Amino acid sequence: MPENIIIPISSEVLLEEVLKMKGGGCRLVQICATRIPDGYELSYSFGKDFDLYTLRFNIGEEVEIPSISGIYPASFLYENEIHDLFGVPIKMISLDYKGGLYRTEKKTPFK
């Protein structure tokens, strides 16, 4: 049975852990944010063959995190999405739409 593991980390070691995933031959599967009472829970999922590894950490409101687009170029869409829809501040995205990826009639981020 393929593995489906959630790995708790701290936001400070995000780039380090993502580099380990890259070094281990994993592909980026998805990034998502979930609202929690004092901020956001972030999940970065990586796949190797059929195994799924998800790096998980919480951050407070207005806490800025680094982009992983320098390591996984395809992450820019996910990062712009969680910035636009949830308001998670992310620095150094390779292609930063600065809130313009989603052109919703309702003001984003959705609170």
Q: Kindly list the residues in this chain that would bind another protein in the complex (CB under 8 A).
A: 1-2, 4, 6, 27-30, 32, 34-35, 43, 45, 49-50, 52, 54, 72-74, 76-77, 84, 95, 97, 100-104, 106, 110
Q: State in angstroms the smallest separation of the CB of 105 from another protein.
A: 9
Nearer to another protein (CB atom), residue 45 or residue 67: 45
Q: Say how far residue 20 (Cα) sits from the centre of its chain.
A: 16
Which SS3 state, helix, strand or coil, does residue 28 take?
strand
> Which of 74, 73, 62, 17 shows the shortest CA–CA distance to 43?
17
Nearer to another protein (CB atom), residue 57 or residue 72: 72
Per DSSP, the residues of 29-83 read: EEEEEEEETTEEEEEEEEEETTEEEEEEEEEETT--EE--TTT-TTHHHHHHHHH
Q: State in angstroms the smallest separation of the CB of 28 from another protein.
A: 5
Q: State in angstroms the smallest separation of the CB of 95 from another protein.
A: 7
